[in-house]
Amino acid sequence: MNIPNYVSIQVAFFISAYLIVIATGSLLRTTVKTPTTTKSRYAHLDGLRALAAIGVVACHTNQQLLAFFGITEVPEYGNRIGIISVQMFFALTSFLFTSRALDVGLDSAKFYIGRVRRIVPLYMFVALCTVVLGIFMAAKPVDDLGALVVNVIDIFAYGFIGSAPLTILDFNAERLIGIAWTLSFEWKFYVVFPVLFLLATSSKKLGLLIVFVLGALAARDYYLIGEVIWPFFVVGSLAAFLKKNIPAIPGYLKSALNPLSILLLIVAIAVPGYFSAGHLLIATALFIVVLYGEPALLKGKALQVIGTISYSYYLLQYLVLAPIVLIAWHMDIAAASPYWKFATALLIPILLVPISCLTYRLIEQPWMHAKTSKAPAVYGAEPAKDEGLQIKRSVPAADLVR
């Protein structure tokens, strides 16, 4: 069977990226305190979060690598790896919050405060870097200060409300912070989640009504639009209710689910489309299979490290990618050997690991662990001794999204 050259390049790159990033995470395992291993923590979901973060970064770097080779074909398979990774992020977000709320209840005020403390500081840092680096890369004088102020406000607001296209001095700022488009969807989830959860758990009839309404809205959107994003948050919440009612499955079923998860991943990559109804069904099955299957490989120390720093790894990627790609083109990467093309591309996901370790320790951790009161923290300010997701305990973890 003849495999197209651009497909072979992608296969080689994704395999290399995953292996090298995981190896780098293993080398840096002592620099970041990972969650304490307990029977009640979903360690395999930390590993899933790590694979998803690597998948998104590899997806975007893969696009640049193909450009280095002068390949113009759309990397559909590589792009779908990035998309299924984003879908898993959305499912993880809703699953972990719904599970926590089902277990210990929901304090809406602490929920919102926790989300701000967990997500906003790093985003503000990334937005500031985008403004500074964007002005530098634009390399033009400021002719209209008012327009520049508007551009800066748009960049800082982008992760919360979304306002593309983003520019600063006519430079495309989305090249530096574009990945934050997913955060605006997560904030929408944070706004509606407490309301829907409290209504759904107040009575069975109301809960069934909400399920029916969400299903009807999803069917309507898929019929009119075809590619819809918000239903992928519902995947995690449904999985949380399922897990609450069926906490465990027999061991022989667990072992059968692991190869099934690989099969579902292959199907997700092969099926055309991105956020289609078909991909929603595949993502639902994949998430539930991984949830109950608890693959041992996902609990490895290296993946736990990447999972811990995954928010930084995810959000900082364009700030690392854009300068490296720009320098590569200035150095005529198109004329370089294939080895140099691969090395340049792989440098992006590798460098992100130590950089993310640094921002996690200097920016994320201090805000997560800041003490605002003597009362137990909820959704965002877990004690320093336990950074993992805990189920059936009074103090939840902060790192629920990434």
* C-alpha distance from residue 106 to each of 97, 192, 317, 373, 390 (Å): 9, 13, 33, 18, 15
Residue 402: the pLDDT is 39
Q: Is residue 25 part of a domain?
A: yes
Count Cβ atoms below 10 Å from residue 312 Cβ, excluding itself: 26
- Asked if the model's pLDDT at residue 335 lies above 70, the reply is yes
Whether residue 313 is contained in a domain is answered as: yes
H or E stretch at 167: strand 167-168
Does the pLDDT of residue 383 top 90, yes or no?
no
Flag whether 384 is in a domain.
Answer: no
364 within 8 A of 122, measured Cβ to Cβ = yes
Residue 197, domain member (yes or no): yes
CA angle at residue 338 from 335 to 343, to 5 degrees? 105
Cβ neighbours, 10 Å, residue 302: 20
* Number of domains composing the chain: 1
- Residue 199 neighbours by CB under 8 Å, 6+ apart: 206, 207, 210
* Euclidean distance between CA atoms 111 and 194, whole angstroms: 8
Instruction: List the domain range (segments joined by +) for residue 292.
Output: 5-369
* Bridge partners, residue 294, by sequence: none
- Look at residue 97 and tell me if it is in a domain: yes
In a domain, 45, yes or no: yes
Q: What is the pLDDT of residues 24-51, one digit of tens each?
A: 999 998 888 876 554 556 899 999 999 9
Give a yes or no: residue 375 inside a domain.
no
**370 confidence band (pLDDT: 50, 70, 90):** low
Q: Is residue 377 assigned to a domain?
A: no
Angle at Cα 313 formed by Cα 168 and Cα 290, nearest 5°? 130
Read off the pLDDT of each residue in 7-32 and give the average, rounded to a whole number: 94
Distance CA 88, CA 391 (A): 20
Give me 318's structure tokens. 């364009």
